[in-house]
Amino acid sequence: MKILVTGGAGYIGSHTCMALKKAGHEPIVLDSLVKGHAWAVKYGPFVKADIADEQAVRRVCEQYKPEALIHFAAFIEVGESVAEPEKYMENNFHKAKRLFDTVCDCGVSRVVFSSTAAVYGVPETEGPIAEEHPLVPINPYGEAKLLTENYLRELETKGLHSVALRYFNAAGAAPIEEEIGEAHSPETHLVPNVILAGLGLKDEVRLFGSDYPTRDGTAVRDYIHVLDLADAHVKALDYLMKDGASTALNLGTGNGATVLEVLEAVQRALGSSVPHSSYPRRAGDPPFLLADATRAHEVLGWSPRHTLDDIVTSALAWHRHIL
């Protein structure tokens, strides 16, 4: 089955293309390469174009006749979204709307959407968050993702069905022989930043907040291996192809790690210490952010298989490979 994958040259998109290929599908990647990498496209045809380019999207649909869309293409830096909200609203919401309208007009009626836990805002609980948690995003990145989820629901009147997958903290990399991994610029995620400091590629890693009400004073996050995320996208696609109803699902492990536990995991993998410094909390960073992924298990039959050590080991191998 041919699947249009927007943002397929990016981190999670490229890993999902790998999973699609292994499942017997042909991913058709459409990516502007503003943030993605041409070297990450290796599992099917590639079209360099913007998702808002209606003519380009129509040409892809006419040439390849995809049966579904998996939409990743988006800017992902929360801090930047606060500084440049219009940029994020245009790219992540308005362009997505134009994309969905175009593919819907071309006869594509199934969409898997890369959403985020940022749609929840500040959690009301220290425990795992279920999908019923209030949706109160606190930054333009989360707002744009939530607006996109809502627009997909509106398109149900035109026969389009969708699954929005709300990720928590994606990390890790594919087996090194695949030669794909995380390569953001700038890099804002904790796991790769700790690794880069450990490999001497940056002076230190900054750890924000040491006075949270957690087991060691640092914030707890739910780290999910990118291979588990990719698997969830394939399962969501299968679900939709069997006429599954539109839904939104959390993707996480439900088992959080503190910032210091991530640091310690990287130090174990390296066999050496990582230079780091502590800084005050960042505004809006909650003490806990954990996923209740029960519904993803019930609806998709999906469960994460990888541990934090798996994440760190695979990410370290990737970063050593690209040194």
Angle between helices 190-198 and 308-321 (to 10 degrees): 50
CA dihedral 11, 14, 19, 24 (to 10 degrees): 170
SS3 (DSSP) at 243: coil
> Which tokens in the block code for residue 230?
């990719």
Locus of tokens 């070297």: 39
By C-alpha distance, which of 103, 100, 126, 64 is closest to 254? 126
CB atoms within 10 A of CB 275: 12
SS3 (DSSP) at 47: strand
By C-alpha distance, which of 115, 141, 149, 122 is closest to 251? 115
Single out the catalytic residue among 141, 212, 223, 239.
141
- The identity of residue 116, as a single letter, is T
The helices-and-strands tally (H runs, E runs) of the chain is 11, 14
> Which tokens in the block code for residue 45?
């045809």
How many residues are there in the chain?
323
Judge whether 120 counts as a catalytic residue: no
The answer to whether the Cα torsion of 105, 108, 110, 114 is positive or negative is negative
Find out whether 4 and 218 touch, Cβ atoms under 8 Å: no
**Catalytic annotation, residues:** 141
